[in-house]
Structure 1
Amino acid sequence: MKIIASVLSILSPVRFLVVAFTCALLLLSSVFPAFAIDSYQSHPTEGTTQLLDIQRKTDEAGKAPPIGLRKTQNETNEGLNEVQGAADIDKQKRPENSQSSTSVEETIKNALEKVTGGK
């Protein structure tokens, strides 16, 4: 009986810490998403023209019979693919515009060198 009483007396401060940590976690998790409001705010009409053009081409492709290989290759060479064309091509990551970026392997290697104090 003394063992149970001693365990319960130890759990009281631990229970308080668990409740306090949980409350703090809930508070912080509900507050931090609000900081995203300061980021870029797009206009409702932005991108609508591109999406309508893509939708039009998609509808045409769905109604038409399957296209041949030559036509598919010609339309694909114009942009990202035959439906999307060159829409948002400047926002897409490709080898041509990613030469200065570091790979995951290089990032990990750099981090390990910093941690271990190596070159």
Structure 2
Amino acid sequence: MKMITSVLSILRPVRFLLVAFTCALVLFSNAFPAFAIDSYQSNPTEGTTQLLDIQRKTDEAAKEPPEGLKKTQKEANEGLNEVQGAADIDKQKRPENSGDAKSVEEKANNFLDKITGK
């Protein structure tokens, strides 16, 4: 029994440090949330036009019998997919239109080079 109590008395400071570290982690994770500085800040009314067009297509599709494979493939090939079509295709980020955007690997290498002083 003495061995168990001595082990528990040794672990008491470790337990305190673990609880303190966990509390600090929770505090800082809530105080400093992730920042999305580089992201585009959209206007809440921007998507209304596209949504109305999608709603119109949905209403038309509900009134008609199911579409055939050829019509579905034709609409899907016009843009990103059958439902979205080419809506906002110019606003979406892809490797083709990213320009000089850096990959995560390049950003990490630049950061590590700054730290190491290379």
TM-score (norm 1): 0.63
Q: Which amino acid aligns with 1:50?
A: Q
Q: Within 5 Å, give how 1:56-67 maps onto structure 2.
A: 56-67=56-67
Aligned-pair identity in percent equals: 77
**1:77 maps to which residue?**
77
**1:4 maps to which residue?**
4
The answer to which of 7-16 and 64-73 deviates more is 64-73
**1:27 maps to which residue?**
27
CA 69–15 in structure 1, closer or farther in 2 if over 3 Å, else same: closer
CA distance in 1, matches of 2:14, 2:69: 69
CA distance in 2, matches of 1:89, 1:42: 16
* 2:49 corresponds to 1:49: yes
CA 75–92 in structure 1, closer or farther in 2 if over 3 Å, else same: farther
Unaligned runs of 5+ in 2: 110-118
How far has the Cα of 1:52 moved from its partner? 1.7
The answer to which of 75-84 and 36-45 deviates more is 36-45
How far has the Cα of 1:26 moved from its partner? 0.9
Q: Alignment RMSD, CA only?
A: 3.6
The answer to which of 16-25 and 47-56 deviates more is 47-56
Residues paired across the two proteins, number: 106
TM-score (norm 2): 0.64
How far has the Cα of 1:15 moved from its partner? 1.2
CA 55–34 in structure 1, closer or farther in 2 if over 3 Å, else same: same
CA 34–70 in structure 1, closer or farther in 2 if over 3 Å, else same: closer
CA distance in 2, matches of 1:92, 1:17: 45
Unaligned runs of 5+ in 1: 102-106, 112-119
Provide Cα deviations, 1:5-56, integer angstroms capped at 9, x if missing partner. Answer: 3212201211111111110121122123263488543211012211221122
